[in-house]
Chains A and B, each alone.
Chain A
Amino acid sequence: MEEISALMQGFSVILTPMNIGLMFVGIILGVLIGVLPGLGGANGVAILLPLTFTMSPTSAIIMLSCIYWGALFGGAITSILFNIPGEPWSVATTFDGYPMAQQGNAGAALTTAFTSSFVGALLAVIMITFLAPLVAKFALKFGSPEFFAVYLLTFCSFVGMGKGSPFKILASMALGFALASVGMDTVTGQLRLTFGQSELMRGFDFLIAVIGLFGIGEILLSMEEGLKFSGKTAKIDPKVVLQTWKQLPQYWVTSLRSSLIGIWMGITPGGATPASFMAYGLAKKMSKRGSKFGTGQMEGVVAPETAAHAAGTSALLPMLALGIPGSPTAAVLLGGLLIWGLQPGPLLFVEQKDFVWGLIASMYLGNIVGLIVVLSTVPLFASILRIPFSIIAPVIIVICAIGAYTVHNAMLDIWFMLGFGVVGYLFKKLDFPLAPLVLALVLGDKAEDSFRQAMLVSQGDVMIMFSNPLVGGITTLALVLLFWPLISKALALVKPKKHDEFAVERPVD
């Protein structure tokens, strides 16, 4: 009950016209940042940080965190309308969101994405409000083996849950890891796989790969059919929103499961990207409509969006409670806190009560404001679909080039982007899954670092992955997911075959 009175105190701090106004500005800027490929949440917050120096810390953090919510919302827009994920965590949203838009349900897909984002964030904020002290203690137990186990779980769930040739999934994932290891080795400082090219020293940024693979690749693929735009015109009105809302409650199990995955990954901190992939993978496995995933299922949009927002929101918890940022954007926000003379950590809850509870209250309000802003601007985004493809195509290629350039201000990256575009086109036509490649490219460095640290601790003994119940549990779960296709076949052999109604509905893939 103590939390509730503190939260009410927080609401009284933030409910000023100035702060509400800042929320709207922050959300709109955030959505813009999320929509533009190459300008991620972390970049956006960093660029706009100087704007807030003149404000009080509470107002500043409200605006910056609203930019963060906006960026989380905005990532879904380009994913659904153009198949270009503006942020890495919206890659999984493209799997079903884009097919939905192509079938003429862009409005429903966007409403689903925004509402799921809102639900995920809301559950995460409720968790932050009540479980903050407990969860912070748990996160303290995480060492390098636990971190690697979490990454392993993410990758294994992808191999085990994927359909199609396992060789192709593995090749795609390993290629991502190989690309991630290009550049300076973070542990020894040696240059790896650069072949003497100084330009390769900084490695391949996942954004360059994502922009090329998805953006350019999709344009090339659409061009095969000529200059007809692949997206259908979308009818957007309040009716679509209400109809979608009526349908959404039936996916409450998926929502809840994805929120829990997201909250857990946000705290641990696995981050929003693996959370969205994992939630999508699990939803595909557990849903009655799992076999239809990838063809434009509403549930396939609900899962990654809920998880990404839950993770993005709960990533702020370890930042506030421990001073350990759970995501790159949380890290930039942490930098902001330090600039304003606030020391994040357990003492922050005691010394800066107004600030902490003001921020938590702003998370509730910011998400409501965010939902209102994005839903009311849906017609604007959907109208983009009505512009002819021969105008949109070159503009998308230009946006991709700008996005690729702004990541590192490097000309060579634009060439890489074009190269990735050709790879994306070939891979899509040959049924190579692109998601494992991107996932490995995003998490490759972190996974490798925690693996090497774990190996250092154990002097090369792999059994460290089973050294305590926590890490052992996660690792076992990862292995079960990896070998799930074999396990489910073995189970089917042991069990006598039953011809019930579920057999038709749940084909084993």
Chain B
Amino acid sequence: MEHDEISDGAPRRGVATNLVEAVVALVLVVIGLVVIYESQRLGSGWTSDGPGAGYFPFYIGVIITISGAGILYQALLGKDKKTEVFVDSVQLKRVLSVLLPASVYVLAISLLGLYVASAIYIALFMVFLGKYSWVKSVIAALAVNTVFFFMFEVWFKVPLFKGALDPLRFLGY
């Protein structure tokens, strides 16, 4: 189901927007059905002490399922479905170049804590994506984290996550 389109002189290749929309709609229908099932399990009717725990979510589930089905219909059979490319390979690569490192960063937080992981993340982002020199990147990363440290720990007394290794323990925070 590829679709070609000329933009900036080069053909754009990728999945059509309405197909992505259909997949999202399907996910919505599944979520709606799960909510309905779970609400019925909890008691979606009238119990001895009033409306049950699933009373409200049940109708929410019904609305999600119906609107999901509506979007699915519009995406696949609707009159003005969008068939242009959802995202081309260049764009996808750029998006993933932020999303994947961000996931690694979140994983690193649980090990190294917010400060150390953030410093490394900012420095590496600047070096590899921003093409800055190592010195500039490290200075910027340290400066940003120092500001955060003073703002959260010292000023607002909000302790941030130090991680399993807690490399900042010597500061007494």
Residues of A with Cβ closer than 8 Å to B?
A: 32, 36, 39, 44, 47-48, 165, 167-168, 170-171, 174-175, 177-178, 181, 185, 187-188, 190, 192-193, 195, 216, 219-220, 223-227, 388, 390-391, 393-395, 397-398, 401-402, 405-406, 409, 411, 414-415, 418, 421-422, 425-426, 429-430, 432, 448, 451-452, 455-456, 460
For A44, A401, A455, the residue with the greatest tally of chain B CB atoms inside 10 Å of its CB is A401
In the bound complex, residues from chain B placing their C-beta under 8 Å from that of A224 are 87, 91, 94-95
User: Size class of B's contact patch?
Assistant: 35 or more
Pairwise interchain contact B54-A192, C-beta atoms closer than 8 A:
yes
In the bound complex, residues from chain A placing their C-beta under 8 Å from that of B20 are 426, 429-430
Pairwise interchain contact B114-A430, C-beta atoms closer than 8 A:
no
Instruction: Kindly state the separation between the CA atoms of A414 and B50 in the bound complex, as whole angstroms.
Output: 37
Instruction: Kindly state the separation between the CA atoms of A223 and B98 in the bound complex, as whole angstroms.
Output: 8
The answer to whether residues A181 and B57 also contact, given A394-B125, A406-B158 and a CB cut-off of 8 A, is yes
Instruction: Kindly state the separation between the CA atoms of A17 and B109 in the bound complex, as whole angstroms.
Output: 45
CB distance from B127 to the nearest CB of A (A): 10
In the bound complex, residues from chain A placing their C-beta under 8 Å from that of B66 are 170
A454: nearest residue on chain B (CB-CB)? B51
Q: What string of 1s and 0s marks CB contacts (under 8 Å) between B53-87 and chain A? A: 11111001101101110110010000000000011
A176: nearest residue on chain B (CB-CB)? B60
Pairwise interchain contact A402-B24, C-beta atoms closer than 8 A:
no
B156: nearest residue on chain A (CB-CB)? A47
Which of the residues B39, B97, B106 comes within 8 Å of A415, measured between beta carbons?
B106
The answer to whether residues A177 and B60 also contact, given A165-B71, A394-B122, A405-B161 and a CB cut-off of 8 A, is yes
The answer to whether residues A391 and B50 also contact, given A405-B160, A415-B106 and a CB cut-off of 8 A, is no
B21 within 8 A of A: yes
CB distance from B156 to the nearest CB of A (A): 6
Which of the residues B38, B110, B131 comes within 8 Å of A192, measured between beta carbons?
B38
A430: nearest residue on chain B (CB-CB)? B21
CB distance from B8 to the nearest CB of A (A): 12
Instruction: Kindly state the separation between the CA atoms of A426 and B39 in the bound complex, as whole angstroms.
Output: 27
Which of the residues B51, B87, B99, B118 comes within 8 Å of A429, measured between beta carbons?
B87
Pairwise interchain contact A178-B60, C-beta atoms closer than 8 A:
yes
Interface SS majority for chain A: helix
The answer to whether residues A190 and B42 also contact, given A178-B35, A398-B118 and a CB cut-off of 8 A, is yes
In the bound complex, residues from chain A placing their C-beta under 8 Å from that of B98 are 219-220, 223, 393, 397
In the bound complex, residues from chain B placing their C-beta under 8 Å from that of A395 are 122, 144
Pairwise interchain contact A451-B64, C-beta atoms closer than 8 A:
no
Q: Which 3 A-B pairs have the closest CB atoms?
A: A390-B130, A167-B70, A394-B125
In the complex, how many residue pairs between chain A and chain B have their CB atoms under 8 Å apart? 170
Selected A-B contacts with CB under 8 Å, 26 pairs: A39-B158, A47-B156, A170-B63, A170-B66, A171-B68, A174-B60, A174-B63, A178-B57, A178-B60, A178-B61, A188-B53, A190-B42, A192-B38, A195-B38, A219-B98, A226-B94, A390-B132, A391-B132, A391-B140, A395-B144, A398-B121, A418-B106, A430-B17, A432-B24, A451-B56, A452-B50
Q: What string of 1s and 0s marks CB contacts (under 8 Å) between B129-170 and chain A? A: 111100000001000100010011000111111000000000
Pairwise interchain contact A411-B110, C-beta atoms closer than 8 A:
yes
In the bound complex, residues from chain A placing their C-beta under 8 Å from that of B130 are 227, 388, 390-391
In the bound complex, residues from chain A placing their C-beta under 8 Å from that of B148 are 398, 402
Pairwise interchain contact B129-A390, C-beta atoms closer than 8 A:
yes
Pairwise interchain contact A411-B109, C-beta atoms closer than 8 A:
yes
Instruction: Kindly state the separation between the CA atoms of A390 and B125 in the bound complex, as whole angstroms.
Output: 7
B173 within 8 A of A: no
Instruction: Kindly state the separation between the CA atoms of A47 and B156 in the bound complex, as whole angstroms.
Output: 7
Q: What string of 1s and 0s marks CB contacts (under 8 Å) between B19-45 and chain A? A: 011001000100110010011001000
For B64, B67, B95, the residue with the greatest tally of chain A CB atoms inside 10 Å of its CB is B67
Pairwise interchain contact B38-A193, C-beta atoms closer than 8 A:
yes
Pairwise interchain contact A397-B21, C-beta atoms closer than 8 A:
no
Pairwise interchain contact B132-A171, C-beta atoms closer than 8 A:
no
CB distance from B101 to the nearest CB of A (A): 9
Q: What string of 1s and 0s marks CB contacts (under 8 Å) between B96-115 and chain A? A: 01110011011001100010
Which of the residues A187, A421, A432, A455 comes within 8 Å of B53, measured between beta carbons?
A187
For B24, B63, B99, B102, the residue with the greatest tally of chain A CB atoms inside 10 Å of its CB is B102
Pairwise interchain contact B28-A171, C-beta atoms closer than 8 A:
yes
Instruction: Kindly state the separation between the CA atoms of A193 and B40 in the bound complex, as whole angstroms.
Output: 11
Pairwise interchain contact B114-A405, C-beta atoms closer than 8 A:
yes
CB distance from A400 to the nearest CB of B (A): 9
List 16 extra interface pairs beyond A175-B31, A429-B20, CB under 8 A: A47-B156, A168-B71, A171-B64, A171-B68, A171-B71, A175-B28, A178-B57, A192-B38, A192-B39, A195-B38, A223-B95, A224-B87, A226-B94, A394-B126, A405-B114, A418-B106
Instruction: Kindly state the separation between the CA atoms of A390 and B136 in the bound complex, as whole angstroms.
Output: 12
In the bound complex, residues from chain B placing their C-beta under 8 Å from that of A455 are 50-51, 55
Pairwise interchain contact A220-B64, C-beta atoms closer than 8 A:
no
In the bound complex, residues from chain B placing their C-beta under 8 Å from that of A388 are 130
CB distance from B7 to the nearest CB of A (A): 13
Pairwise interchain contact B95-A167, C-beta atoms closer than 8 A:
no
In the bound complex, residues from chain B placing their C-beta under 8 Å from that of A415 are 106
Pairwise interchain contact B94-A223, C-beta atoms closer than 8 A:
yes
The answer to whether residues A397 and B71 also contact, given A391-B126, A429-B86 and a CB cut-off of 8 A, is no
For A36, A402, A421, A451, the residue with the greatest tally of chain B CB atoms inside 10 Å of its CB is A402
A185: nearest residue on chain B (CB-CB)? B53
Pairwise interchain contact B160-A452, C-beta atoms closer than 8 A:
no
For A185, A394, A411, the residue with the greatest tally of chain B CB atoms inside 10 Å of its CB is A394
Pairwise interchain contact A398-B50, C-beta atoms closer than 8 A:
no
In the bound complex, residues from chain A placing their C-beta under 8 Å from that of B160 are 402, 405-406
